[in-house]
Structure 1
Amino acid sequence: MSHNLIIFLNAHQICHKLDITGAYAKIGYFEREADLIFQDEVHGNLFEQVEGTIDLLFTKYIKAIISYDGIHRNETYEYPKEVVREALLNAIAHKDYSGSTPIQIRVYPDKLMIWNEGHLPENWTVGNLLKSHSSRPYNPDIANSFFRSGYVESWGRGISKMTELCLAGGLPEPSYVVEGSDFWVIFKKDIYNTEYLESLGLNGRQVKAVLFAKEGKITNSDYQTLNSISKRTATTELTELSSKFKILIKTGTSGSSIFYKIVGQ
C-alpha cells in the first residue's frame, strides 16, 4: 500500500469517527428573516456532509444564470461554487463540537449566510482574519484530514481566497461577524442588475446610471452624457437614487467635487 493511500485512509478514518450530536449541516431558504420557506439537513461523515451540502445548495437553493456561447450552454451561479465550498470547509474545521447545534446555512434572495459555533484564536479579532495569517484551525485533526485528502490548503489563505474569488465574480467581499461563540460568514450577491433595479421602480436612465456606478462612481456630468439629458433632470434623478431608493450615496460638497457611489462599495 502506498504512503499517500495510507494518509488518505487515515484522514477518512478521522472524519468517519466523528459521531457527535449536532455534527451535521442544516440549510434553510428565507424570503425574510422570519419567513422560512423550506429546509433540509445533510448528515453522514464529514466528507459526505461537504459533498452533500454543496450538491444540495447548487441544485435547489442557489440559482444559475444560463447563457450560450454558440451551441454551448454556460451556467454562472449567483455565488462561485469554490467560495461556498471553502466557507463550508472552514466552518467544519473550526466548529466547536462541544456544542450541540449544527452548522447553519441561510439562503436569502440577496445573500447567503453560513454560521458555525466556534472561537477565534486567543487575542484575535476579525482584523486578524482579514490580513495575512498562519493556519490555526480549531480542530487540527479535521483540518489535516481535509488537507491530506486534497480538500484544502494549509497556509491560512481561506479568507483571502474567498475574497479574491468573490471580487473576480463581480460580488462584494464577504463579511464576517463574530459575537461570542457565533461565527458568521456572509456573502451578498450582485443584486444591482437590470431586472432587479426595474422591479424597484427605477426608470431606464436610472438603471443605466446604477450599472455605470458599479464600475466605481458616477457624477452629474456622467449622468447627463450617459442619458443625453439636462443637468436639472440629472440632478433630480440622482437625488432620487440616493434619497428615495437609497442605492447611491452622495460624496463631496459642491460643484465638480460631488459624485455618487453604490451604497456599501
Structure 2
Amino acid sequence: MTSESQNIEFKVSWRDEYLKWICGFANGNGGKLCIGIDDKGKVTGVDNHKKLLEDLPNKFRDILGVYAEVNLQEEMDNYYLEIIVPRYDVPISVRGKYYVRTGSTLQEITGLALNEFILRRTGKTWDDIPEQRASLSDIDESSIKQFL
C-alpha cells in the first residue's frame, strides 16, 4: 500500500464527518479516501464493507450532490474501501460549509477566501456581480467626464 499524500487519505473506519474530506477532494484536485487502512498504510480491514458499499454513494449524492466511485478492495483477507473523488468545477459544500484539500490537510474555506473561491469556480470575477444597493445617484458625473 502507498502512503498518505496530498491526494490520498487513510481512515481506519468510516465516520460521517469524513464527508468533509470528500468535499475537500472535490473542491481541490480530486483524490482518494481509503477506509480500512491506518495512517501507516497497513490494511486493517473494515467489517461493514457491504453496508458501506450501499450507503456511501447515496450519502455523497444526497448530502454533497457529488458522485464518487466506491470500490471494494482486498489485501491478505482484509477488505477495505477505496473512494475515488473527482475534481468538481462547481463549489461543493457539506451542510453549507466549504472545504478544500491543500497539502495533506483539510481546510475550511471562510470569509473573503470563500467569496473568491465561489466566484472563481462559477467563472465570475468581483466586477461581474451587481451591487444591489447602488443607484444612479451614486454615479459621479465628473469622474465619468474625466474618464471619457
* Structure having the larger proportion of residues in helix: 1
Q: Tell me which structure has the larger Cα radius of gyration.
A: 1
**Do the two structures share a fold, i.e. TM-score over 0.5?**
no
Q: TM-score, normalised by structure 1?
A: 0.19
Higher RCO, 1 vs 2 (CA within 8 Å, ≥6 residues apart): 2
